[in-house]
Structure 1
């Protein structure tokens, strides 16, 4: 049975369910930041997906990237699958702008974090969800 890692559950809000992944919004308003988590039990690495699953994952990363691009017009979309703190496979899709406080460095360890106001978060979730085909 698939279970979302407790750290992801604590740090994110649900946005959408795609065929493979749960799409989550990182609760950090400094960067529009989505996390895609394949809803497959005990998955820790991309190569553990079968070929169709790997293709599906790339397609869903592209969908999430497009949604962020349409909403915030970033200078760059960063995509990464780390997992040093959370072993469950998850892919970060982060909209970056040249004016963001960590540019051009990484967001990890930058020290910049600010939680969303609930109304702002809910509005962003709706907007992203609509672009991902969710109601």
Structure 2
């Protein structure tokens, strides 16, 4: 699909970071100023629905999603993890793996909800620093999956 931003392998923001890329999937650290540690797991080939994948491919991407979740929990120590695959705006399989904190800007709603509060700048900065550890931890986790 020529107009799909995920098929073009483009990062959504200049500061987004490619953490890991395999033959079928890739992991991006999303530059979200309100949600440090937000990652996206993207299927490389244009596929709109999980049921379009083979059972083995489904297992593969979900194993990766869970490895990213585990890494985020280990590094960020969130109050909760949100995992979402919507695809309404970009109909290309991708999973959002988002560390959530009771004091984040959108809690208890989704990451796409209206802001409910402001997180202290010092707290956000501390989380951004912690999130810098994620690429190495996620790469190590993925090496163990091979």
Q: Same fold (TM over 0.5)?
A: yes
Q: Does 1:128 align with 2:138?
A: no
Q: Does 1:50 align with 2:54?
A: yes
Structure 1 CA distance for aligned equivalents of residues 51 and 92 of structure 2: 13
Unaligned runs of 5+ in 1: none
Structure 1 CA distance for aligned equivalents of residues 137 and 32 of structure 2: 20
Alignment RMSD: 3.1
Does structure 2 conserve the Cα–Cα contact (< 8 Å) formed by 1:13 and 1:24? yes
Aligned residue runs from structure 1 range 33-112, under 5 A:
33-40=38-45, 42-110=46-114
Instruction: Give the paired residue count.
Output: 127
Name the structure 2 match of 1:23: 27
Name the structure 2 match of 1:9: 11
Structure 2 CA distance for aligned equivalents of residues 61 and 16 of structure 1: 12
Structure 2 CA distance for aligned equivalents of residues 55 and 102 of structure 1: 31
Structure 1 CA distance for aligned equivalents of residues 10 and 90 of structure 2: 8
TM-score, normalised via structure 2 length? 0.73
CA drift of 1:24 comes to 0.5
Structure 1 CA distance for aligned equivalents of residues 30 and 57 of structure 2: 24
Residues 42-95 of structure 1: per-residue CA shift (max 9 Å, x gap): 211111110001011111011000111111100111001011111111110000
Name the structure 1 match of 2:121: none
When Rg is computed on C-alpha atoms for both structures, the one with the higher figure is: 2
TM-score, normalised via structure 1 length? 0.78
